[in-house]
Amino acid sequence: MAKKAVVLLSGGLDSATVLAVAGSEGYGVYALSFDYGQRHKFELVAARALAVRAGVQSHVVLDINLRIFGGSALTDQIEVPRDRSAREMARGIPITYVPARNTVFLSYALAWAETLGSFDIFIGVNAIDYSGYPDCRPKYIAAFERMANLATRAGVEGKGKMKIHAPLLARRKSDIIKLGLSLGVDYGMTFSCYDPTPRRISCGRCDACRLRLEAFRACGVPDPLAYARDRE
């Protein structure tokens, strides 16, 4: 039987690519998504479709209530910033940061991995997506991995070592797209927008849309998604 891996799958461009990477490395994939009160819940529809297409062993969508704590434009009725330049995005931690989100996500992935007897967790954080999020930094991922090995049976019984795979960490967004295309990812099935229209069209103006559009432009490939700004 193939080695098992837990893959965090948001339904966005990055996690869709990571899903393909894990599959290409021969892992039996257990995909994990979260309904955490995000405004852009439509990404979960994308996640379901991506998981089916990738032929995962299992896909679990966990309903977790991060909204109860508040504090982010992604879960609260705070306005999502628009039309920010790359320089503006790089300045400080954006309001779209959800407190401790990746820590909560990785903790659940760890719980599932331990139950499955898996030692491999994949997450699609990267240096550009980072755009100020503390929990997307390489040293954060390394610290989580270290903690994970102390937290679990694996670490105590010495049967294996938990590894947090972050294959996109050092890649530019355009390189991520090239990688995904080479692995057959259909980016028309992914969804990135933080602030879609009621009809679930990407806004084209939030940080996530702007980074995505810029990356497709940089690698000379059209983004298969439709954008609301196209029609303005």
In the complex, which residues of this chain contact a second copy (CB under 8 A)? 60, 62-66, 68-71, 92-93, 97-104, 106-108, 110-112, 114-115, 134-135, 137, 139-140, 143-144, 146-148, 150-153, 155-157
CB of 117 to a second copy, least distance (A): 9
CB of 27 to a second copy, least distance (A): 18
User: 151 in the Ramachandran plot: left (φ > 0), alpha (ψ -120 to 50) or beta?
Assistant: alpha
CB of 230 to a second copy, least distance (A): 35
User: 220 in the Ramachandran plot: left (φ > 0), alpha (ψ -120 to 50) or beta?
Assistant: left
Considering the complex, state which of residue 121 and residue 179 has its C-beta at the smaller distance from a second copy: 121
Considering the complex, state which of residue 145 and residue 195 has its C-beta at the smaller distance from a second copy: 145
Rounded distance between C-alpha atoms, residue 20 and residue 126, angstroms: 16
CB of 197 to a second copy, least distance (A): 28
CB 24 within 8 A of CB 183: yes
Task: Give the β-pairing of 28-35 and 58-63.
Answer: parallel
Considering the complex, state which of residue 100 and residue 181 has its C-beta at the smaller distance from a second copy: 100
Considering the complex, state which of residue 33 and residue 190 has its C-beta at the smaller distance from a second copy: 33
Considering the complex, state which of residue 114 and residue 175 has its C-beta at the smaller distance from a second copy: 114
Helix (H, G, I), strand (E, B) or coil at 116: helix
CB of 85 to a second copy, least distance (A): 21
Q: At residue 61, what are phi and psi to the nearest 5 degrees? A: -110, 115
Rounded distance between C-alpha atoms, residue 154 and residue 6, angstroms: 15
CB of 187 to a second copy, least distance (A): 29
**Strand ranges (DSSP E) for the chain?**
4-8, 28-35, 58-63, 120-122, 163-165
Shortest CA distance to 17 belongs to which of 45, 42, 50, 44?
A: 50
Give the number of residues written for the chain: 232
Considering the complex, state which of residue 17 and residue 72 has its C-beta at the smaller distance from a second copy: 72
